[in-house]
Amino acid sequence: MSLSLTAILSNPELENKLLTEAQTQGFIAAMAAAPNLINPNEWLAFLWGGEEISPFTTAEDLEAYANAVVNLWNEYREAFLSGQWQWPKACQLDDEEIVTAQTRQFSEGLLQGWQLTRDDWETLMPEESENNALLGGVLLSISMLFDPETALATLEEQGIEGLDEFKEIYNAVPMMLSGLTMRGFELAEAEASRDE
């Protein structure tokens, strides 16, 4: 039986050596949403800080981790393209903190992953294009969930009571990420067929 990502990440030997589960989910979401598919070999090392040597002690452990990551990528990609993706269970809103630590970490992972795919997105959705507004809206929403205190202060300066806004943003993220993935996929396909 293959180990789940949760089981692998709960290994005390790996503590603080890999992104947290929520950061990993966010990073993989960015990779799964990317308009051009990027081979996991090119980004897997980012999940342990980009070091050449992985923190795993055996090749089997590394393989189990890579398999869990690729399975999650497949699950997310399919869910994004079918509009079925939902927040991971631990990523919630929070009455005290606005969002849970996991929601913040997911958003952080997604923004880190975005850095790797940024050129692809900006090529397909250049500034001034209507698609760029979609991309900007998604990134702004994720940034707000990553740093809700700053976002809340900014909203209040504009006279907006922010907590309801966060609920709306949080609830809209699955649809926005799916919509962005589908649009990116269409644009990438169209570009590929032009290049043939």
* DSSP codes of every residue in 23-44: HHHHHHHHHHH-SS---HHHHG
Helix (H) or strand (E) holding 139: helix 130-146
Which stretches in the chain have pLDDT values below 70? 1-2, 162
Angle between helices 162-195 and 130-146 in degrees, nearest 10 = 140
Cα 3 to Cα 41: distance, rounded to the nearest angstrom = 20
pLDDT of 95? 85
Does domain 5-193 fall into CATH 1.20.120?
A: yes
Domain coordinates in residue numbering, the chain:
5-193
Contact criterion met (CB below 8 Å) for 104 and 26: no
pLDDT, tens only, 152-192: 888 788 777 767 888 899 999 999 999 999 999 999 999 88
pLDDT of 15? 86
Q: Which of 26, 47, 30, 48 is nearest to 146 (CA)?
A: 26
pLDDT of 75? 97
User: 18: which residues sit within 8 A by CB, 6+ positions away?
Assistant: 9, 24, 47, 48, 55, 65
Angle between helices 148-157 and 130-146 in degrees, nearest 10 = 110
Length of the chain: 196
DSSP tag of 58? S
User: 88: which residues sit within 8 A by CB, 6+ positions away?
Assistant: 22, 25, 102, 106
Cα 44 to Cα 66: distance, rounded to the nearest angstrom = 7
pLDDT, tens only, 53-65: 899 999 999 999 9
Cα 101 to Cα 91: distance, rounded to the nearest angstrom = 8
pLDDT of 146? 94
Cα 67 to Cα 94: distance, rounded to the nearest angstrom = 32
